[in-house]
Amino acid sequence: MIFNTGSALLDAIVLAIVAKEDAGTYGYKITQDVRAVIEISESTLYPVLRRLLKDACLEVYDQETGGRNRRYYKTTEQGRRQLTLYQQEWAGYIKKINSILLESQ
C-alpha cells in the first residue's frame, strides 16, 4: 500500500480485530489478520498492543496451549468505546476523502 498507516489507524485496526473475539485473541493471529489487509511487521504491531494496554483499551491474559503459554489480548469497556469513536470518525473521514479522490469518476 502506498499510503502511510498512522498510529491512530493502526490502533483502530487492532481494536477491531481483537473485538471480533469475545474471549480475545493472541498476538500472532492479530498480526496475521492485520497482514491480510495491510503490510505490517511484528516489530510495528507489538508497540501498538503495548500502547493499547497502557491506554486501558486492552487487557491481557496467558493461556496454556500445547504445553506453551500464549498471551491473549481482549478489549476492555474503554477499548470498545474507543473503537466506536474510531468507527464514527472513520465513516466521516472516508466520506470526505472519497468526495475528493473519486469526484472525477
Which pTM was predicted? 0.89
What is the DSSP annotation of 30-43?
HHHHHHTTS---HH
Which tens digits make up the pLDDT trace of 41-57? 888 899 999 999 999 99
Q: Give the whole-number percent of the chain exceeding pLDDT 70.
A: 96
- What are residue 81's phi and psi, to 5 degrees? -65, -45
Extents of the domains making up the chain: 7-101
**Residue 73 near residue 27 (C-beta atoms within 8 A):** yes
Pick the CATH number of 7-101 from 1.10.599.10, 3.40.50.2300, 2.60.40.10, 1.10.10.10: 1.10.10.10
Q: Is 60 exposed, middle or buried (0-12, 13-18, 19+ CB in 10 A)?
A: middle
Q: Per-residue pLDDT for 17 more than 80?
A: yes
pLDDT at 1: 64
